[in-house]
Chain A
């Protein structure tokens, strides 16, 4: 037994890496299906968007970059599908400079699926610096920050912006967050200007937003790739996040097995040490 334990603890980590890679690849190839049962915080996010009426404005803030893309990009696409299906007007802006093209990418991709026109039904404003100041400043006039859209065209040349000046004209704000920018939206747009807010966060940041959800400062919370999969399921358009859930399931189980094996080895090691010390 001791020999097995010794071998187990001394295993080259590259073998572990191969096992992990296989556990990701195999489910991605064979696509076993598991039921995706959306959870309440995501259902609340869905309901908040779904209860809006045609022509309402949804401000979407892309506050992440490629490092969090697999978690949040599927949600962005699902949200845009939901918005266009309900004839809402997505107004996109970006607080993470490296993420700006990701927003553009999703918007152009989803817009093609629907009969919508840029500048009339949706707009992409791009990135501006100084996010705290900007988030407070938009409370007065969005044009003080976004005189042009992401391509440099004047926003006043687009009809979708005709009646949009500040948060009073935004029906709901959806922040896609890989860091602390979500807190700033809640602190200023939410608390100071009473903006209704939904946050979609990477799994790393999601646990830190539950108190906002419980306090009612945000109306919905979408956490990680699982949250994106829930949203894809709710809009009845399963996509990449749903496709990734089988692999996610199996790797989680593998990691739990790793933790248990590691602890069994630790337990035996400790017992053996105790015995040796006792013998002395």
Chain B
């Protein structure tokens, strides 16, 4: 019973959202506000279930890691607008997280992106075959795209030619991304219609 009611509820909310396609209306606004309220409540509940409980209470209880009270304090003072007198303390939390992020960023981008990606572009150009041609296209594509985004010097002469070729590659990449984006959105639509047909409508008739 609960499951059937749930499917009807989900179907009704789905239709409320789709009613926006006709025009903005109270059903859509209701569903939208419901989504906002529920999501905010969900954030609060998971912050307890997946942050406070397992990362603070449990380690303190199991391993007596009382030192974790310090990050908990800095986590709470991020919400310093609740306590204007110590609002300046929130900068300490921000500084700490930004410092970690920047430190990880330097090594992560060099080791994870820069070196492997540059290395993977140094490709062999031996023999007259399809592989060589593809490798050549990759090398030219990477270099000319970088040239296009190089703004420190006016694009004249060779730079202009390079940047023009770069734009061609970029257009192909954007076209591919656009095609893929269409594909993604359509898949979401298929997912919702699949639900409406096979989880909601078909069971009504098969039961009847």
Contact = CB atoms under 8 A, between A and B. Distances in A.
Interface of A: 14, 17, 20-21, 24-25, 28-29, 67-71, 97-98, 100, 126-129, 132-133, 136, 145-148, 152, 154, 183-184, 186-188, 190-192, 202-204, 206-208, 211, 214-217, 223-226, 240, 243-244, 247-248, 251-252, 255
Contact of B183 (A24, A28, A152, A203): A203
A224 B104 contact: no
A68 B46 contact: no
B205 to A, nearest CB: 12
B51 interface: yes
Contacts of B183: 203, 224-226, 248, 252
Contacts of A71: 184, 187-188, 191
Contacts of A145: 55
A21 B194 CA distance: 12
Interface stretch (B1-9, B77-85, B107-115): B107-115
Chain B interface secondary structure, helix, strand, loop or mixed? helix
Contacts of A207: 173, 176-177, 180
Contacts, number: 152
**Interface residues on chain B, size class:** 35 or more
Nearest to B173: A207
Those 3 A-B pairs whose CB atoms lie nearest each other, nearest first: A70-B191, A187-B112, A215-B120
Given A25-B193, A243-B194, A215 B117 contact: yes
B186 interface: yes
Contact of B187 (A21, A203, A214): A203
B62 to A, nearest CB: 6
Interface string B95-127: 000001100100111011100110110000000
B186 A248 contact: yes
Contact of B111 (A20, A192, A240, A247): A192
Interface in B136-174: 138, 173
Nearest to B107: A192
A203 B183 CA distance: 7
A170 to B, nearest CB: 18
B190 interface: yes
B58 interface: yes
A248 B54 contact: no
A2 to B, nearest CB: 30
B194 A132 contact: no
Contacts of A24: 186, 189-190, 193
